[in-house]
Amino acid sequence: MIDASPMAWLMIEWHWPWAFYLLPLPIVFYLLLPKVKLQEAALKVPSLSLWSNHQTNTGLNSNSSWPSFLLPSLLWLCLVATLARPHILGDVVELPTSGRDLILAVDISGSMDIEDMQWQGKPVNRLFTVKNVLNDFIQKRKGDRLGLVLFGSQAYLQAPLTFDWQTVQTLMNEAQIGLAGKQTAIGDAIGLTIKRLQSNPEQSRVVILLTDGANTAGEVDPLKAAELAQQSKVKIYTIGLGADAMEVSSFFGTRQVNPSRDLDETTLQNMAKSTGGYYFRARDSKELEKIYSMIDELEPTEKDPEIFRPQSSLYFWPLGLALLISFIMSLRHLGALRPLKLSNKSAKSQL
pLDDT digits 0-9 by tens, 156-172 = 999 999 888 899 999 99
Q: How many CA atoms lie within 13 A of 56 on its CB side?
A: 6
CB atoms under 10 Å from CB of 276, counted, come to: 13
Q: Is pLDDT at 141 greater than 70 in this prediction?
A: yes
Burial (0-12, 13-18, 19+ Cβ within 10 Å), 24? exposed
Q: Is pLDDT at 336 greater than 70 in this prediction?
A: no
Q: Is 81 in contact with 316 (CB distance < 8 Å)?
A: no
Q: Give 186's pLDDT tier (boundaries 50, 70, 90).
A: very high
Look at 106 and 243; give whichever has higher pLDDT: 106
User: Amino acid identity of 30?
Assistant: Y
Question: What tens digit of pLDDT does each residue of 18-42 get?
Answer: 999 989 888 888 788 776 554 555 5
pLDDT, mean over the chain: 79
Q: Is 187 in contact with 224 (CB distance < 8 Å)?
A: yes
Q: Is 65 in contact with 109 (CB distance < 8 Å)?
A: no
Distances (CA, A) of 111 to 134, 170, 253, 259: 19, 22, 23, 9
Whole-angstrom distance, CA of residue 86 vs CA of residue 317: 9
Q: Is 123 in contact with 117 (CB distance < 8 Å)?
A: yes
Q: Is 213 in contact with 263 (CB distance < 8 Å)?
A: yes
Overall average pLDDT of the 277-281 stretch: 91
On whether the pTM is more than 0.85, the answer is no
pLDDT of residue 229: 92
pLDDT of residue 145: 85
**Which of the residue ranges 88-102, 123-137, 217-231 would you say has the lowest mean pLDDT?**
88-102
List, by residue range, all CATH 3.40.50.410 domains of the chain: 95-304
pLDDT of residue 82: 92
Burial (0-12, 13-18, 19+ Cβ within 10 Å), 61? exposed
CATH superfamily membership of 95-304: von Willebrand factor, type A domain (3.40.50.410)
pLDDT of residue 268: 93
Look at 233 and 342; give whichever has higher pLDDT: 233
Instruction: Give alpha helix (H) positions in the chain.
Output: 6-9, 25-32, 49-58, 65-83, 126-139, 165-173, 186-197, 222-231, 265-274, 285-296, 316-350
Q: Is pLDDT at 331 greater than 90 in this prediction?
A: no
Q: Is pLDDT at 143 greater than 60 in this prediction?
A: yes
With both helix axes pointing from N to C terminus, report the angle between 222-231 and 265-274 in degrees, rounded to the nearest 10: 10
Whole-angstrom distance, CA of residue 273 vs CA of residue 254: 39
Overall average pLDDT of the 219-235 stretch: 92
pLDDT of residue 100: 76
- Sign of torsion, CA 331 335 341 342? positive
**Which of the residue ranges 75-89, 101-115, 197-211 would you say has the lowest mean pLDDT?**
197-211
Reading across the β-sheet that carries 205-211, which strands appear in turn? Answer: 155-162, 145-151, 101-107, 205-211, 235-241, 279-282
pLDDT of residue 29: 82
CB atoms under 10 Å from CB of 206, counted, come to: 23
pLDDT of residue 67: 59
Q: Give 66's pLDDT tier (boundaries 50, 70, 90).
A: low
User: Amino acid identity of 75?
Assistant: L
Q: Is pLDDT at 87 greater than 80 in this prediction?
A: yes
Look at 141 and 156; give whichever has higher pLDDT: 156
User: Amino acid identity of 328?
Assistant: I
Q: Is pLDDT at 1 greater than 60 in this prediction?
A: no
Overall average pLDDT of the 222-235 stretch: 92
pLDDT of residue 200: 76
Question: What tens digit of pLDDT does each residue of 92-104 get?
Answer: 766 655 567 889 9
**Which of the residue ranges 88-97, 212-221, 300-309 would you say has the lowest mean pLDDT?**
300-309
Q: Give 57's pLDDT tier (boundaries 50, 70, 90).
A: very low
Q: What is the CA radius of gyration of the chain?
A: 38
Residue 123, classed as helix, strand or coil, is strand
Instruction: Give alpha helix (H) positions in 18-61.
Output: 25-32, 49-58
Size (the chain), residues: 351
Going by DSSP bridges, is the β-strand pair 246-250/306-308 parallel, antiparallel, or unpaired? Answer: unpaired
Instruction: Give alpha helix (H) positions in 140-176.
Output: 165-173
Look at 69 and 190; give whichever has higher pLDDT: 190
What does the angle CA 18 – CA 22 – CA 23 come to, to the nearest 5 degrees? 115
Going by DSSP bridges, is the β-strand pair 279-282/235-241 parallel, antiparallel, or unpaired? Answer: parallel
pLDDT of residue 136: 85
